[in-house]
Amino acid sequence: MSYKCISQILIKHGFQNKAYDRKLSFVFKFSFSALFTVEAPRSLYTVELGSNVTMECIFPVNGKLKFEDLSVIWEKKDEVRKDVYILLKGKEDSGSQHSDFQGRIKLLKEYLDFGQSLLQISNVKLRDAGLYHCLIEYGGADYKTINLKVQAPYRTITQEVVRTGDKEWKLTCQSEGYPKAEVMWQNGEHQDLTDKANTSYETGSDQLYRVTSTLTVKNRTCENFRCIFWNKEIQENTSANLYILARANKDCRTRMAKSSINITNIQIETT
């Protein structure tokens, strides 16, 4: 970020008098001589929806911290910049905080003495994902950019098996998560049936994907099937087993009972 950009950010937050502008100009010339540097121990944080995250940047203190000389600005870089947390010359400016973050942000002030700016976001939302600037002004000025990724694994799969005709069944798996997942289908012999399935996607106000996948099978009276939700971005899959059992076929029941697959999800008996 250039001197001009950082200057605009600070002026935006109230550093507008001429005396301060002269000081700011000196500060930035001084800071960009590499004597004042902000660092980020981690440039990427990946967290689950609804959890808490603490992002960190560090800065030089050189002795006892003079709190009244410290300014800390955390902002989110969206189409329109959003103020996350602002501390100007030792005083918090909560009035500028964007509504997206109200009630969920805390700066752990006890760590400032050690040159650590720790921003805690509680109950993380999908909209929190993106780039954040941690800007510190303390005798000099510098910033670092931190990337926050938010994910919601497809951990709960709702299953349904419905008879639609003579020896014809519709198998359905549905789950919610983020980002978008692919759905694959297999039968008991691990044959890929994905091309025969129909998968649809919906998004709600919470930005989660509701993924519904259906597979129609015929002439199956004793077989198990598996739907697999594959979240490529986070390299995670969740699967569920669905079963069609023949009531009159004792061999079928025995084979399923001896199977290494746990038959606890859905059992549909046919006549």
From 208, 220, 228, 80, select the one nearest 150 (Cα to Cα): 208
Q: Which pLDDT band holds residue 270 (cuts at 50, 70, 90)?
A: very low
What is the set of domains in the chain, with CATH numbers?
Answer: 3-151 (2.60.40.10), 158-270 (2.60.40.10)
91 by Cβ neighbours in 10 Å (0-12 / 13-18 / 19+) ranks as: exposed
Among 95-104, 128-137, 212-221, 243-252, the minimum mean pLDDT is found in 243-252
Give the whole-angstrom CA distance, residue 73 versus residue 50: 24
| Residue recorded with tokens 């100007």 | 88
Buried b (16+ CB within 10 A) or exposed e, 196-209: ebebeeeeeeeebb
Asked whether residue 212 carries a pLDDT value surpassing 70, the answer given is: yes
Q: How many CB atoms lie within 10 A of CB 158?
A: 12
User: How much of the chain exceeds pLDDT 70, in percent?
Assistant: 77
Average pLDDT, the chain: 83
Q: What is the pTM of this model?
A: 0.74
Which pLDDT score is estimated for 79? 83
Structure tokens at 249: 């076929």
Which pLDDT score is estimated for 165? 83
Choose the most confident range, by mean pLDDT, from 16-25, 35-44, 254-263: 35-44
Q: Say which amino acid occupies 85.
A: Y
Give the whole-angstrom CA distance, residue 250 versus residue 248: 6
Q: Which pLDDT band holds residue 80 (cuts at 50, 70, 90)?
A: confident
| Residue recorded with tokens 């689950």 | 48
Asked whether residue 185 carries a pLDDT value surpassing 60, the answer given is: yes
Which pLDDT score is estimated for 31? 43
Asked whether residue 45 carries a pLDDT value surpassing 70, the answer given is: yes
Backbone dihedral angles phi then psi of residue 175, each to the nearest 5 degrees = -155, 165
